[in-house]
Each structure stands twice: as structure tokens, then as C-alpha cells.
Amino acid sequence: MSKLQVPDGLETFQPEIFAGKVLFCTGGRSGIGYRIVEMMMKHGADAVIVGRDAKGVEESAAKLEASTGRNCLGAPADVRDPEQLKRAVQAAKDKYGKLDFVVCGAAGNFLAPISGLSERAFRTVIEIDLIGTYNTVKATLPLLRETRGAYVHISATLHYRGTPWQTHLGAAKAGIDALSNALAVEEGPRGVRSNVVAPGPIGSTPGMTRLNPGGQPLENLIPLGRVGQTTDIANAVMFLFSPAASWINGSVMVVDGGDAHTRAPYVPYPEAMFNPKMMTDVLKGKL
Ligand code: COA
């Protein structure tokens, strides 16, 4: 297999490995979350996708049902609102009677230097990514205890080192990693596992568009010679939910082709910090 090909999981996992299981995924309407749900459904799971855009969530759920032949419930909710999340979990319980797996995938991000970042902007990303994860865990934990289920949180690698213009996202994702570790040890004795998947640059996702607005080619900067695909992340999540990972708890699985070890900033750093026009051009994707 050439390094440009990605196995789609169907060649790797038993086709019915998740039959009878129910997945709850925040951020499942699009991008990485959508692909995780689709792959899990293609392997037998039924699903619930949660997102802010009620119409979009409905449309994605219908599309997922059509492409997989499984059931998918679209549950509109903003992860920042615990009451909306509780209603989404109740709708899941009404439809399926249980939950086995939860993916905390809802996220928001943009490039912004801290000097130009309002308190509300910082808070918004913390609330979507970190508090949203907390809210999702709180709303789903009673059901996961019943099934001895598992969590996977979608984090990042940007906080392993200082990444310029990512204070908000880095702080939120570091918090998510810490939350998952503590959850793993608190709930492990009840049979509930918690792990993190940390994606590198994944092509054709909103995150990638926002972090690399100029569309700089990244292939040659990544040790494995390509950007990731949403399928790479879905494969890792499926492994962590599979029985093969039954002793994996409190771990972070980096899925990035080795990028975190070698990554230089995608933005012209530090030049843009001292050049307002360059900064504006970068943020508009002109550089
Ligand atoms: N640079 C600096 N500040 C920004 C910004 C940017 N690019 N985008 C938004 N903000 C600020 C806003 O100005 C506002 O602060 P203010 O009131 O002090 O001006 C604050 O963030 C909240 O923005 P708002 O648009 O009201 O929030 P929202 O809840 O509608 O949107 C975002 C949340 C900003 C994260 C939005 O980008 C989003 O919804 N993204 C979802 C998709 C996504 O980011 N995917 C990538 C995942 S990695």
C-alpha cells in the first residue's frame, strides 16, 4: 500500500463489530465527527449526532442512515448548554434505551494572537471545547455506567508545545486531556473507560481551513508525507471502542503522521507579530 492510501476500516475491523451498540457523538454533523459516526454505523452501531445547527443535524442524520442502513438520531443541542444536552441524551434514551460509546467532538477554533483576543473570544472556545466536554460527560455518564461504556475525546497536539495564536484552543485541549485522565481513574473501577485521540492536520475539515487559511501545502512537513484524512481518526476511535482496547484507559493516542515532533508554525512567526498588515493578510488567507 502506498503512503497516500488510507485503509477505510472495512478492511480492518469485523463488519459487525459494533452491532447492538449505540454511539453518541457531539460535533457529528460534519468533518471528523461525521466520519467517525459513519464508520461506526458501517460497522453495525446505531448513533445520535449532536450539533447546534438543527437543520444541518437533521440532514446529516438522514444522510448517515441512507449511506449505512443503520439508525441515526439528529439531536440539536449546543454543548455549552447543559439543559439542551440533557434533552439530547433523553431523546437518545427514548429511542435506543441506552448508550455505549460517547465521542466528545464538538469544537470551535480560529487563529488569533492573545494580544488581539477578547475575553469573550477566549471564553467562547473554552466553553465549546472544554466546558462542552464536561457537560457532555455529565449528561451521559449515568447511561455509560449502565453499559460499562467508553468515551473518546477529540483533542489536538497544538498544546504539546507553544503554538502561536492558539492560546485559547491550547488551553481548552490541555484541559480536555486532563479531564479525560481523571475521568479514566474515577470511572475505571465502574468499568467506564476514557481516552483521547489527538489528530494532526486533517484535510478538508473546518479546523484545517481555520489553522492554515493560506492553504500552505503541508505534505512535505509531515514525516509520513501526507496530511491526515478523517478516516485516519475514525480508525483510531474504532480501535479505542473495540474489545481490542479493553485495557486502554486514560491514554492519549496521537494520530498525526509524526507531525507533532517536527511541526513549525504554519504562520509567519515571529514576523507577523510585529507587522500588522502581514498579520491581517495571514488571517484573511492571503499569505
Ligand atoms: N478572531 C478573534 N476573535 C474571534 C474570531 C476570530 N477569528 N472569531 C470569533 N471571535 C470572537 C468574537 O469576536 C466574539 O468576541 P467579542 O464579542 O469580544 O467580539 C467571540 O469570539 C464569540 O464569537 P461568536 O461568533 O459570537 O461565537 P459563536 O458561538 O457564534 O461562534 C466560534 C463560535 C467563534 C468558535 C465559531 O468560529 C464557530 O462556531 N466555530 C465552529 C466551527 C469550528 O470552529 N470548527 C473548527 C474546529 S477545530
- Condensed to tens digits (0 to 9), the pLDDT of residues 31-48 reads 999 999 999 999 999 999
pLDDT at res. 5: 64
- The rounded mean pLDDT for the chain is 95
Residue 89: the pLDDT is 98
pLDDT of residue 67: 96
Q: Output the pTM of the full model.
A: 0.96
Q: What is the pLDDT of residue 154?
A: 98
In the predicted structure, residue 9 carries a pLDDT above the cut 70: no
pLDDT of residue 2 exceeding 80, the answer is: no
Neighbours of 286 (CB within 10 A): 11
Mutate to test the pocket of ligand 1, among 50, 84, 110, 212 (most ligand atoms within 8 A of CB): 110
For residue 1, is pLDDT > 60? no
For 223-243, letters b (16+ CB in 10 Å) and e give eeebbbbbbbbbbbbbbbbbe
Establish whether residue 118 lines the binding site of ligand 1, counting it when its CB lies within 6 angstroms of any ligand atom.
yes
Spell out where 58-210 has E strands: 72-76, 101-104, 150-154, 193-199
pLDDT confidence of residue 110 = 94
Rounded mean pLDDT, 134-154: 98
How far is the C-alpha of 256 from the C-alpha of 201, rounded, in Å?
7
Is the CB–ligand 1 distance for residue 110 below 6 Å? yes
Closest atom of ligand 1 to 109 CA is 44
173, 194, 246, 284: the catalytic one is 173
Record: fold of 22-283: Rossmann fold (3.40.50)
What pLDDT is recorded for position 227? Answer: 95
Tell which wins on pLDDT, 286 or 167.
Answer: 167
pLDDT class of 157 with cuts at 50, 70, 90: very high
124 CA distance to ligand 1 centroid (A)?
7
pLDDT at 285 > cutoff 90? no
Say whether pLDDT at 127 is over 50. Answer: yes
In the chain, where the domains are located: 22-283
Higher pLDDT, 67 or 267: 67
Percent of the chain with pLDDT over 70: 97
Q: Which residue has the higher pLDDT, 247 or 217?
A: 247
State which of 124, 205, 208, 282 you would mutate to test the pocket of ligand 1, scoring each by most atoms of that ligand within 8 A of its C-beta: 124
Ligand 1: residue whose CA is nearest its atom 10: 121
- Going from the Cα of 123 to the center of ligand 1, the distance in angstroms, rounded, reads 10
Query: If you measure from the C-alpha of residue 165 to the centroid of ligand 1, how many angstroms do you get, rounded to a whole number?
Result: 14
Write down the pLDDT at residue 225: 95
How large is the average pLDDT for residues 54-71?
A: 98
Highest mean pLDDT among 151-160, 203-212, 275-284 belongs to 151-160
In this structure, the residue with its CA closest to atom 45 of ligand 1 is: 108
Sort 1 into a burial class: Cβ within 10 Å, 0-12 / 13-18 / 19+.
exposed
